[in-house]
Amino acid sequence: MVNGPPSYAATSASTPIAQRPQLNGHRSSSTDAVARTKILLLGLRRAGKTSIQQVLFNNLPPKQTFYLETTMRIVKHTFQFPRTSTVIPLEIWDCPGNTTVETLGAPLSQFATMIFVIDIRDLYNQPISRLVEFIVAAYQANPNMSLEVFVHKAEKLQEDDKIENFRQIHERVSDRLLDISPDYEQVQLNFHLTSVYDHSLHEAFSKVLHKLVDSLPYLEDLLNVFCANSQSPKAFLFDTTSRLYIATDASPVDSATFNLCCDYLQMLNSFGTLYKSETANTRRPMPTTPPLLTSSTSSLSATRTATSDPSSPKTTNSTSQRSSSDLFYPSASTSLHPSTPGTTLTYHLITSQLALLALLPTSVYEGRRGLIEFNVVFFREGVQEICQVETEARAGG
Ligand SMILES: Nc1nc2c(ncn2[C@@H]2O[C@H](COP(=O)(O)OP(=O)(O)OP(=O)(O)O)[C@@H](O)[C@H]2O)c(=O)[nH]1
């Protein structure tokens, strides 16, 4: 049920990127001619560093992390995030457990983010000392570096112990820093409870990435306008493969909604291969990875449908023009609460790797479907323009 006077309108795509977003100064060139953002992944042995990287970016099932071998030397993983439409090309340095500031072998100033992984049961001196050592060195090298602490394997503890250990680790690190110098009071440290066995890791890593997305304010603006004009209480722009969200609208993120979106994406990724587009031979579908629901005639159930959206936004860029006329965009929806007033979770592919997931009142989704699709088209146009500008900026164009 929609309360108050309905405020339906078309999403405007005119404003977001009148100017090119300025790239932050923390980029570094790499051999593939794209400026990659470097993330340092640290922690003691068996803390879970490689598992985090593998689960997020290589789709390794969490249980398989048990068989990962010990990291003996620094491994640099490069990722496109999302994989094809450049928003953040990443280089993640997975370090062995015995890495210290001295043995890292690279200046800390070149990293945009440092993630220190600490086992939630490790309340001992050694991990805290190593973490503090890196924080001090990183802060001195680059005070603007994002300093993130993943208090990991959180699912191992009961709720009360989890909160208590989390609090103790936080407190010990802060105390230790203050003992070194009162100046470190101003160090901005971000602590996250994470586990590969639930979506907490995806949520935490998404938050880490947001600090690295130069175009975040523009993407958020687009999402805000989409939500306002479509009566959506929450919308996310997700990377479909990693299931990390790169932006969301201004309303607060609640974990339950985020988990639902993650699960839905996971389901679409798993079952998408069962659906084939009848028009795939004549009109190339978006090069989705993995394939998604691309048939306008397919449906998963009465409340879970898949449609293709052949409409393509007009763009001024020749590359975008070519891709938007060649490609079409799958969409899907599922009813979350069948009883009235219901909520529908919708999925629309926006670029080959980015998808819009939005909660909508079922009455709006069913009664104003055309307008929602229309708003999605303009949202897509805005996001594609942003990606284009980011790509050019990264390539130094
Ligand atoms: N329960 C639980 N176990 C985890 C989690 N993440 C990783 N592990 C386990 O922790 C162990 C070590 O994981 P790795 O990813 O190899 O740890 P690492 O920090 O890369 O270790 P080194 O390579 O020795 O530095 C493995 O047995 C994983 O299955 C988690 O979130 N929960």
Chain segment 60-93, per-residue pLDDT in tens: 999 999 999 999 999 998 876 555 444 678 889 9
Query: What is the whole-number distance in angstroms between the Cα of residue 194 and the centre of ligand 1?
Result: 12
What gap in Å lies between CA 188 and CA 160, rounded to an integer? 26
- For the ranges 105-119, 207-221, 285-299, 321-335, the lowest mean pLDDT is seen at 285-299
8-state DSSP, 14: S
- For the ranges 82-86, 213-217, 331-335, the lowest mean pLDDT is seen at 82-86
Tokens of 36: 């990659």
Ligand 1 closest atom vs CA 72: 23
Query: What is the whole-number distance in angstroms between the Cα of residue 80 and the centre of ligand 1?
Result: 24
How many CA atoms does the CB half-sphere of 34 hold within 13 Å? 19
Query: What is the whole-number distance in angstroms between the Cα of residue 16 and the centre of ligand 1?
Result: 41
Query: What is the whole-number distance in angstroms between the Cα of residue 51 and the centre of ligand 1?
Result: 5
Q: Is the CB of 127 under 6 A from ligand 1?
A: no
The pTM (predicted TM-score) of the whole model is 0.80
Looking at the chain, which residues constitute the CATH 3.40.50.300 domain(s)?
Answer: 27-210
* pLDDT of 292 over the 50 cut: no
8-state DSSP, 60: -
Tell me the CATH number for domain 216-394. 3.30.450.190
* pLDDT of 193 over the 60 cut: yes
Tokens of 332: 């899907």
Tokens of 121: 């049961």
- Give the pLDDT confidence of 293-305 residue by residue, as tens digits: 333 323 333 233 3
Mutating to test ligand 1, I would choose from 68, 74, 98, 203 the residue with most ligand atoms within 8 A of its C-beta, which is 68
DSSP of 80-130: EESSSS-SEEEEEEE--TT--TTTS-S-GGG-SEEEEEEETT--SHHHHHH
Q: Is the CB of 49 under 6 A from ligand 1?
A: yes
Which of 348-376 are b and which e, b meaning 16 or more Cβ less than 10 Å from the residue's Cβ? bbbbbbbbbbbbbbbbbbeebeebbbbbb
What is the pLDDT of the chain when averaged over all its residues? Answer: 78
Residue of the CA atom closest to atom 26 of ligand 1: 66
- Give, in order, the Cα–Cα distances in Å from 214 to each of 7, 13, 23, 27, 394: 31, 18, 6, 11, 11
Report the percentage of the chain scoring pLDDT > 90. 45
Strand partners, 335: 344
Query: What is the whole-number distance in angstroms between the Cα of residue 309 and the centre of ligand 1?
Result: 42
What gap in Å lies between CA 268 and CA 264, rounded to an integer? 6
More reliable by pLDDT, 392 or 170: 170
Residue of the CA atom closest to atom 5 of ligand 1: 153
Q: Is the CB of 47 under 6 A from ligand 1?
A: yes
Q: Is the CB of 283 under 6 A from ligand 1?
A: no
Mutating to test ligand 1, I would choose from 51, 58, 156 the residue with most ligand atoms within 8 A of its C-beta, which is 51
Would you mind telling me the total number of residues written for the chain in this entry? 397
Q: Is the CB of 130 under 6 A from ligand 1?
A: no
Looking at the chain, which residues constitute the CATH 3.30.450.190 domain(s)?
Answer: 216-394
Q: Is the CB of 152 under 6 A from ligand 1?
A: yes
- Give the pLDDT confidence of 195-208 residue by residue, as tens digits: 999 999 999 999 99
Place 35 in a pLDDT band, splitting at 50, 70 and 90. confident
Q: Are 55 and 65 in contact (CB under 8 A)?
A: yes
State the pairing for strand pair 299-301/244-248. unpaired
What pLDDT was estimated at residue 232? 93
Q: Is the CB of 51 under 6 A from ligand 1?
A: yes
Place 396 in a pLDDT band, splitting at 50, 70 and 90. low
Ligand 1 closest atom vs CA 194: 31
Its CATH class, for the domain covering 27-210, is alpha beta
Query: What number is the average pLDDT over the span 309-329?
Result: 44
* pLDDT of 242 over the 90 cut: no
Ligand 1 closest atom vs CA 47: 19
Nearest Cα neighbor of 153 from 44, 269, 266, 265 is 44
With a CB cutoff of 8 Å and minimum separation 6, the contacts of 183 are none
Long-range pairs, 319-323, Cβ under 8 A, ≥24: 319/388, 320/384, 320/385, 320/388
Ligand 1 closest atom vs CA 43: 19
Query: What is the whole-number distance in angstroms between the Cα of residue 53 and the centre of ligand 1?
Result: 10
Residue 33, Cβ neighbours under 10 Å: how many? 9
Ligand 1 closest atom vs CA 54: 15
Place 137 in a pLDDT band, splitting at 50, 70 and 90. very high
Ligand 1 closest atom vs CA 117: 19
Q: Is the CB of 71 under 6 A from ligand 1?
A: yes
Residue of the CA atom closest to atom 7 of ligand 1: 48
